[in-house]
Each structure stands twice: as structure tokens, then as C-alpha cells.
Amino acid sequence: MRFLYCTLAFSELVLGVGLMQSKAQQPAAGTANGMAAPIVSTKPRARQLGVPFDGHPGALDAITDVAGVEVGSTTLVSGNGALKVGEGPVRTGVTVILPRGKGSIDPVYAGWFSLNGNGEMTGTTWIEEAGLLAGPVGITNTHSVGVVRDTMIGWGLKHGVVGDAWSLPVVAETFDGYLNDINGFHVKPEHVVAALDGAHAGPVAEGNVGGGTGMVCYGFKGGTGTASRVLAEEMGGYTVGVLVQCNCGRRPQLTIAGVPVGREIPDGAPYAQVSPLPGSDAAGDVGSIIIVVATDAPLLPHQLKRLARRASLGVARTGSISGNGSGDIFLAFSTANKDADKGPGPNSVLTVSNERISPLFEATVEATEEAIVNAMVGAETMTGRDGYTVNALPHERLQQVLKKYNR
């Protein structure tokens, strides 16, 4: 049986059908046949469980608190049992972020940073050169980067949001091959289009959704997470939003609100082993994390690169050492300075003074930390290929551990 979930920014929208329907009754992947009404997730988030975080979140505590930002995703879950390459089981998907929404061709200033380069984020050489990001950002599994990239170009041409005669989309990845038939290439163009067409402002679904569907984080089920921070008016009143696709870390490393949660809950970590394997790099990370930082603060590209670097400190707060096997790549963009690249110029732009940028660094660190924890809190236990199971972070035990350490 095949189930396709197209997750809009504010919901988990089911495009597939129920367990009792036959394959012949199901809609084709990527179509809207049998579309159900949007269902807003009722799963608790980390703050609702009592996890104490620093800083002040926005109304949604999500990257979409930055005005204009839209998020969409398509989730692919089908099949059980032994791996049959090309058939499944499938536990994957794609997530997209549109900095100025679907209707804009105006690029944004951007900067990127690689904490550890065992991964991929396309389009970054041009960001480094020009300081501009044009079009959506995609996140998927390692072997689906190409189809997401190419489809984003075609979608942009069709919708008139490719402003030049060429396009260098930004698409990043993390590895979901422990649970997913990653060599089956199950992410198709129609799935990317569904995510792009469905992108929306509002609350963002977390956990086993989109590109984060098959991910593992600190030996617990990982996935997609988001958070935001709003600066006080005297610090500019700016908003910083973060979205992560987390697939990183070893269980003993996991730290939440300063508490060694991974060491207190060591059981059930078949993928991110508790003990290093002799002669291996198992003491390091075994996965990756992609982080996208958005802000409405008027920052120039070199300042946004500084912001992207600070995401590293948010990851470190959760315990990761960014080991050799981890692809930890971060992107930051600003929705301020509209028409900054409008020809023929010259154009006037605004910028935050470097003497006033530290609160934005702090907001990035705080939101990154919370987004990672939100991804784990929002995820659910998943069984994938060959019966491999990754358990979700148990909410009650997390609360007990936090209480033990007076947090």
C-alpha cells in the first residue's frame, strides 16, 4: 500500500488513502485526488512539555514568523518488510522554503557555512560569489538532490519566478538510508511540485514530515523542526526563524536544556550506538544536519554568513561534535532590502551595524537549539526497511530527566 502525505506549512494534509483501500483505488503520487481537509497537528512541542529554553519566541515559534517566508513539504511512506531496491520500504520526502513566498522573483541576501562538509548543499558557490539567493530552498535525502534541483528549475520557469536565463537552486540533503530505500529514488518531480505548490505561511509541521521523514537524531527519531526568536524593541525588534532537518549525533551526546538526556535514556539506540565500535569513527556523528536561518533584519551577505556560523553553537548546545561522518551545512538569508539587486542600479540598502548584531547571533543559537529539540519531540517511532525501528524520544521520560536535574 502506498501513502502520500503532502504537508503544507500549517498542516498535515493527506493525499493518500486509508489502510483498507486497494492500490487501484489510490490516487497517483503527487495528485490531489481524495484530498482531505487540513488537519492541524495536536502533538505537543518541546515548550509544552516544559523544556526551558532561553529567549522569546514569535507567535508561531517557527521560521514562518519571519514575514513572507513559506514552507511546504511532501512526505512519502509506503511498504514494510525486507528491502527491495526500487520498491521500498519508502520513508522519505522533500521540504521546501520560499524566502519571499511563491509570488516573488526578488532574490534575498544570503550567506552559508559548512561546519563539516560530509554532505551537500547545491548553489552555494554562487551565494558565496554574489551574496544572493534566488528562488526556493529544498531539503531531501542524499540521493534525491538532483531531481529536487531540476524540478525546482522547471517549476520556477513555469511560474515565472526564475528571474534570469539560468538558475542555480539551493538543495541540501541528509541520509535516510537506515529506514528508507534510498537507492530506489522514490522522490519524483510531482512530489517536489506538490511541496512547492502547497507551500504556505503559518504553523510548520514537525517530526516525520517532508525531507525529515526517515531521519534519526541522537539515536531517537529525528526529522523536521523549527523555532523562532523575536528581539526586544531596543535591540531592533527583529525576528529570527530557524528550520532544521536533523539527522545527527550519538545517543550519549544528546543534551537538552543543559541536561545529559542521552546518557539518562541510553536504551533503544540501534543506529546511533551507545558505545563506539572498535577501530571505527563511531564516537563521532553518524548523520547530518541542515539548518536554514531566516531573518527580517537588514543584513548584508557577509553578516548573514556570520549568522549561519552561529547555528553551529545551537547544534553544540544539543551535544553534537560535528564528527567526520556528519554533513553540517547552514544557510542564512534576510527578507529585508527588497529590490536590492534590481538593475541597473546603483541601489540603496540598509544594514544593521556590526556593533548591534550580537543579539541576532544569540537569537540564532537559541532558535537552532529549540528547533532540533522540537524535531525530536514532534517525531514518532518509525519502522522502515528490513524491520529496522527507531524509537521516538519518550516525552514522559524526558520530563522525568529534566525534573531530576531541576530543569
- What confidence tier does 397 reach under pLDDT thresholds 50, 70, 90? very high
180: three-class secondary structure by DSSP: coil
Report pLDDT digits (tens) over 251-261. 999 999 999 99
- The pLDDT value given to residue 29: 33
Catalytic entry in 288, 312, 322, 334 = 288
- What confidence tier does 287 reach under pLDDT thresholds 50, 70, 90? confident
For residue 363, pLDDT over 60 is answered with: yes
Beta strands across the sheet bearing 13-14: 13-14, 2-8, 70-78, 90-98, 137-141, 170-174
- The pLDDT value given to residue 41: 62
Question: What domains lie within the chain, and their CATH numbers?
Answer: 44-404 (3.60.70.12)
- What confidence tier does 38 reach under pLDDT thresholds 50, 70, 90? very low
- The pLDDT value given to residue 269: 75
326 is catalytic: yes
For residue 30, pLDDT over 90 is answered with: no
Contact at 8 Å (CB) between 65 and 59? Answer: yes
322 is catalytic: no
Report pLDDT digits (tens) over 139-187. 999 999 999 999 999 999 998 877 667 899 999 999 999 999 999 999 9
Worst-scoring range by mean pLDDT, 279-283, 286-290, 390-394? 279-283
328 is catalytic: yes
Calpha distance 130→223 (Å, rounded): 31
Catalytic entry in 65, 106, 176, 328 = 328
Catalytic entry in 144, 167, 326, 334 = 326
- The pLDDT value given to residue 197: 97
pTM: 0.90
Q: Cell numbers for 108, please give them.
A: 534575498
